[in-house]
Structure 1
């Protein structure tokens, strides 16, 4: 019996890639800077489970430096390394698709860092089709900041909050109760069709609740995404008869392609609970792919170093529960899709190496070095499951 699991810590980068200067990210290091910050503040970052699997050594291979609190040693329990992205962007879709064997070697469209960010003809047409009285924001922004800034006016006027980021994305925020969740989804579907000529990867519905300047986003987020341009690991597994279980936003990122079952969760720990349940249920030939989104959306983009550090320690403390459930023939990889250094300027992703930490009952611990494409991860899992090889990547095990 063979099963595969991808545990993706969204935005957990291990240090800038050689091409980071193109993205103004030279020196970015999500993991290293969090560890340094924690040490300087008298609260050292402690990740005993991940450290035992080789995280510190993988980060050293990527950045050339040992993170504070992670010293050189031997005797790791996993096959560990890091990977560089072949795709041209540093966005969510590119990272996930490349892991699954389909690098994005075309350029996404992006909205400029101006106010307004969106073309007037786009917003005028969306207003005409949706019937909303207008828009608020229309700029590059942090999602949590912009809903608190414009939430009161949105509730009072019915104008939608629209914003973008360094990703190829249009985000539309609305109050679940005063505006309506289904109505928000309908507007986002309209917008998704309208942004096609601009080569935009996603339109994201960002519902929120609350009142009087104190608003919180809900778990009813929905991404309307362009489909991958070629079959991915998910398609290969599903076509071979294996179940593909997408936890969190995985189904949205792949536009539903190759997905057998969708499992949602409100935050990292809810998704971890779902992972434990799925690990009991998943059958032979299955692929379970979970995105732990809080690292990125709740802490990375918000430049919350304390929150990021605490979330890493919380995840590390619970990983032994999952490891205890592994069976003979299981292969797990802990990885990421890009960086989002919470000490870096701005609020966008950072161009960084990602971890590749493979473990399971049959995995021989060793150093894997640096891969030149994230697709080595997907190809390794395809080989393990015995499905059709991917068009990109090499088997590392």
Structure 2
């Protein structure tokens, strides 16, 4: 029996979506702008200009999908012609441009309702919410209470947090409340418990996620967020592709933050990992261990968290090249009857204004399992991806979406 391996490059958009103007993102283009920047700028002081090179992704149709999505060529060829599998792009119909919406829609459950958001003003959280968090968490108070970059607010308030014992709470343009605390001074388990309290408290506000953001270090100069991040997400309102896979007697092996994104529902086995290198290794382990009739699903979060949000164009490009260089290690573990999908969940153009996600189309690159080498029609919803996988795996159709012929 067959397996499906989904490798999701978090935030890897390939051109602004048809409705991007409504989100302030018309013109955003994660891949296009990275390619353009690297084609013009030296990677280090006095170094040579070296265009973006992604030969293994390109041979699976990435460059062709980008041209289809953008309507024009990239600034420089990615290094290989399309020779393997079927390619296209997909548009999102969910409201918002956040992680949960993108993943849920891929799995056949678009977000048709409005998430709750906190306004971009000082003291952005309702004071009754903050007061309840302080009381139930037995806290001396909180710091932050604003929209912020996670790395910057830790530098700004981390030392005061250690001195006072007050955790740092902040948000972004996403439907999220994040809590940062020092792993040793505050305690990792205490941070997790506080996030569980916050998860219950934000229910009336329709917030999608609480995120624990632990960090270590002795001062602002060396504070570093750790890989012990944990997301507390609301469950999808309908059965997802993952739920249907498990209900049909199959398995879902989740790597990285996939289990958190789906509220640990429809998950058979979870491989905790953080950092591109460790996520590649965990994916290889999952594929090696996965029996027939299994979906292996990895989220490569670093593209989003380490480079997109930090507006690090060069870092994003070099991370893509690193992933591309290691992709053959994963594909070498696939069986002839396995299906491979390379995709994303939204954009996060590192050249864009602000530090938030960008509303973009995503690449859809299918290969393996006898997939023809061809261009697929553009997908009107991410849900068509889940429907295609459901049909391939021989399980019940997803809540919405139509399968494409591979």
Give the TM bin, normalised by the shorter chain: over 0.9
Paired residues of 2:58 and 2:80 also in contact (CA < 8 A): no
Residue of structure 2 in register with 1:206 after alignment? 213
TM superposition score normalised by structure 2: 0.96
2:191 maps to 1:151: no
Distance 1:40 1:77 in 2: 29
Distance 2:163 2:251 in 1: 46
Structure 1 residue 150: Cα displacement: 0.7
Residue of structure 2 in register with 1:215 after alignment? 223
Instruction: Choose which of 55, 69, 78 in structure 1 pairs with 2:76.
Output: 69
2:31 maps to 1:7: no
Paired residues of 1:66 and 1:72 also in contact (CA < 8 A): no
Instruction: Choose which of 327, 348, 355 in structure 2 pairs with 1:347.
Output: 355
- Aligned-pair RMSD on alpha carbons? 1.2
Paired residues of 1:61 and 1:369 also in contact (CA < 8 A): no
Instruction: Choose which of 359, 364, 374 in structure 1 pairs with 2:382.
Output: 374
The alignment partner of 1:322 has SS state of helix
2:246 maps to 1:238: yes
Q: CA offsets per residue over residues 359-397 of structure 1, 9 Å max, x none? A: 114111110131110011111111111011112111112
Paired residues of 1:126 and 1:191 also in contact (CA < 8 A): yes
Residue of structure 1 in register with 2:133 after alignment? 126
Distance 1:394 1:328 in 2: 25
Q: CA offsets per residue over residues 284-316 of structure 1, 9 Å max, x none? A: 110000000000001000101111011000000
Structure 1 residue 89: Cα displacement: 0.9
User: Within 5 Å, which residues of 2 pair with 1:1-397?
Assistant: 1-41=1-41, 42-70=49-77, 75-213=82-220, 214-396=222-404, 397=406
Structure 1 residue 74: Cα displacement: 6.1
The alignment partner of 2:341 has SS state of strand
Structure 1 residue 242: Cα displacement: 1.0
The alignment partner of 1:251 has SS state of helix
Paired residues of 1:99 and 1:377 also in contact (CA < 8 A): yes
Distance of aligned partners of 1:131 and 1:87 in 2 relative to their CA distance in 1, 3 Å threshold = same
The runs of 5 or more residues in structure 1 that have no matched partner are: none
Deviant stretches of 4+, over 4 Å: 71-75
The alignment partner of 1:230 has SS state of coil
TM superposition score normalised by structure 1: 0.98
Deviates most, 72-81 or 194-203: 72-81
The alignment partner of 2:223 has SS state of strand
Distance of aligned partners of 1:75 and 1:355 in 2 relative to their CA distance in 1, 3 Å threshold = closer
The runs of 5 or more residues in structure 2 that have no matched partner are: 42-48
Q: CA offsets per residue over residues 50-78 of structure 1, 9 Å max, x none? A: 11111011011111121122289965312
Distance 1:294 1:15 in 2: 20
Distance 1:60 1:136 in 2: 46
Q: How many aligned residue pairs are there?
A: 397
Distance 1:346 1:199 in 2: 24
Paired residues of 2:16 and 2:29 also in contact (CA < 8 A): yes
Distance 2:134 2:203 in 1: 17
